[in-house]
Structure 1
C-alpha cells in the first residue's frame, strides 16, 4: 500500500465530508426539511439517511488516516475503496434515473476520486 496515496484518499474523504456537510447541507438538507409536500415519514427517513452518510464519511476519513499512519488495515482500505466505487456508480445511476447529469451530483466524482486513489495505492 502506497502511504502517500492512502493519505490522499483520507484527504479526499475529508473533502467529500466537507462538501456533503457544508454545500449539501445548504442545497439539499435545508430544502428537504423546508419541504411541506413530502409525507413526514419520507422526509424524516431521508434526513436520517443524510446523517448516515455524514457518519460514514467521518468513519472513512478516520479509517484512511489510521491506515496511512500505521500501515495496518489493508482489508479496511480495500473495503472503503470498493464502497467508494459502488457509491459513485449509485450516485450516477440515481442522477440518470432522475434525468440529471451524473456529474451535477458531487458524490459521483468525489467517491470516484476516492476509489481511484485507493486503487492506485495498491498499484504503486
Structure 2
C-alpha cells in the first residue's frame, strides 16, 4: 500500500514539475537574450530529462506496488529520490543560498521517506 502512495506522490511531483514548473521556468529560459542558444537548449534538454526521470520514478514505484517481484525498482526509485533530495539540500548550503529560494529538495523528501518506510 505504501508503494502506491510513493507512486502517487512521485506522479504528483512529476506533474508539478511539468506543468506549473514548466510554465514558470521554461519560457524565460527560452526567451533569454543573455544566454547563448546552445546553452539554452542544453538546459531545455536537461529539463526534459528530469521530466522523463520523474515520470519514470512514478512508474517504478507503481510497478513495484503492483508486482511483488518488482521490489528492486522501488529500491532504485527510492535511492534516486534520496540522491535528488540530498543534492538539492546540500547544494543550497554549499552555494550559500536560501532553502526557500531553492525548494526543489523538499519535493523529493516525501517520496524518499515513503519509499524508505515502504521498504523496511
Whether TM exceeds 0.5 here: the answer is: yes
User: 1:26 and 1:98 mapped to 2: Cα distance?
Assistant: 26
- Tell me what 1:56 maps to: 53
> Structure 2: which 5+ residue stretches go unaligned?
none
Q: Does 1:43 align with 2:34?
A: no
Distance 1:111 1:52, change over 3 A: same
2:27 aligned counterpart, secondary structure: helix
Quick check: 2:64–2:70 contact (8 Å CA) kept in 1?
yes
1:10 equivalent in alignment to 2:2:
no
> How many residues of Structure 1 are paired with residues of Structure 2 in the alignment?
120
Q: Conserved in 1, the CA contact under 8 Å of 2:64 and 2:72?
A: no
TM-score normalised to structure 1 length: 0.87
Alpha-carbon spacing, 1:99–1:33, altered in 2? closer, same or farther (3 Å) = farther
Once residues 71 and 40 of structure 1 are traced to their aligned partners in structure 2, the CA distance between those partners, rounded to angstroms, is 46
| Distance of 1:97 and 1:28 partners within structure 2 | 23
Range with greater deviation from structure 2 (17-26 or 105-114): 105-114
Q: Give the TM-score of the pair, scaled to structure 2.
A: 0.89
Q: CA RMSD in A?
A: 1.6
Q: Deviations over 1:46-70 (max 9, x none)?
A: 1000000011111111111111111
The question of 1:101 aligning with 2:98 is answered yes
Q: Corresponding residue for 2:113?
A: 116
SS of equivalent to 1:102: coil
- The separation in 2 between residues aligned to 1:23 and 1:70, in whole angstroms, is 32
Is the CA contact (8 Å cut-off) linking 1:93 and 1:102 kept in structure 2?
no
